Structure 1
């Protein structure tokens, strides 16, 4: 695997909530080409020692959704996809589109909406979650204002993990997310 120093992830900030999506103060992180010749087994062997645990193997999932109780990592082992981040189907905001391909990982903070817009045939990824997290909840970005406020509170309460999923304890996620959390507390 590349060193954390030379493989700074791409960052995408989706801090503004919508009427139906909490989004997050923590940036979405995209690690490019960090999984050489990935398979579900090799991904788990590389990521699980960093205290991110396999939740399943998934394919194209076209429903807008977010998780309010855990962060999520997609580790792509087959094909490519285009994800829409930061908005639900009822929101007017445009969101951000991100392309992923075999060998890439994306870390989605709790509360950030995501939806697979298109995928190559056979697209698959392993979903991994910080060790000790509750089982993910699927929120389909259509809740009323009161329920959305509850989900915002849930997502804000999810702690920054102790370990970067790709690079371990010294990796960039912990530093970047801790800095973002500190900025929120100070403002």
Structure 2
């Protein structure tokens, strides 16, 4: 692994399922302060697309709890900050984690991980990037009405990307997710 990759290994968050969110055995990956300057959507798009992912939109704070069972999703934060609630639906009493993301950060959510902004500052804005072979995301809203067993099967069928949105081919994402999938057990599943 290159020295620059070693210095920027992502933080990992493993989340157990909740009654309304399937989550995933694969960890959320958070790369701190890795986007090139100047921070803007065009520069972030060039960076992530140069690493094998494709931009499909840009947004500010989304406060609705939701998840995508059919694709991973990556945010490249180009302005401001947001406290994200990950892995817990609006009806869940426990579970999940809150994570602060800031300008320059990149966060990658495996399929099935719920997410929403609980607060945002300084004009929070990010681009959304996805593996180029991924289908258009499907939104589910953590209502607890979803058939969890069917969703888990769908989530497990989603391919692990060949590229890391920060480091490209052979980046940490591919290695970390393949190892987690091979183990097949979320370390938090029994908590």
Q: TM class, shorter-chain normalised?
A: over 0.9
Q: Which residue of 1 aligns with 2:182?
A: 182
2:63–2:117: 8 Å Cα contact kept in structure 1? Answer: yes
1:80–1:120: 8 Å Cα contact kept in structure 2? Answer: yes
Structure having the higher strand fraction is 2
Q: Which residue of 2 aligns with 1:130?
A: 131
In the TM superposition, structure 1's runs of 4+ consecutive aligned residues that sit over 3 Å from their partners are none
Find out whether 1:44 has 2:45 as its counterpart: yes
SS at match of 1:13: strand
Find out whether 1:60 has 2:61 as its counterpart: yes
Q: Hey, what's the Cα distance between the residues in 1 that align with 2:12 and 2:155?
A: 19
2:162–2:170: 8 Å Cα contact kept in structure 1? Answer: no
Q: Which residue of 2 aligns with 1:154?
A: 154
SS at match of 1:81: strand
1:50–1:165: 8 Å Cα contact kept in structure 2? Answer: yes
Find out whether 1:31 has 2:11 as its counterpart: no
2:71–2:158: 8 Å Cα contact kept in structure 1? Answer: yes
> 1:176 Cα shift?
0.4
Per the normalisation by structure 1, the TM-score is 0.93
RMSD of the TM alignment (CA)? 1.4
Q: Hey, what's the Cα distance between the residues in 2 that align with 1:145 and 1:109?
A: 18
Q: Hey, what's the Cα distance between the residues in 2 that align with 1:119 and 1:47?
A: 23
> 1:36 Cα shift?
2.9
Q: Which residue of 1 aligns with 2:80?
A: 79
Q: Hey, what's the Cα distance between the residues in 2 that align with 1:142 and 1:160?
A: 27
SS at match of 2:26: coil
SS at match of 1:181: helix
Q: Hey, what's the Cα distance between the residues in 1 that align with 2:94 and 2:122?
A: 29
Q: Hey, what's the Cα distance between the residues in 1 that align with 2:46 and 2:53?
A: 11
Per the normalisation by structure 2, the TM-score is 0.91
> 1:108 Cα shift?
0.3
SS at match of 1:136: coil
- Alignment length (residue pairs): 182
Q: Which residue of 2 aligns with 1:142?
A: 143
Could you report, residue by residue, the CA deviation over 1:103-136 in whole angstroms, capped at 9, with x for unpaired residues? Answer: 0010000000111000014110000011110000
Segments of 5+ residues of structure 2 without an aligned counterpart are 186-191
Segments of 5+ residues of structure 1 without an aligned counterpart are none
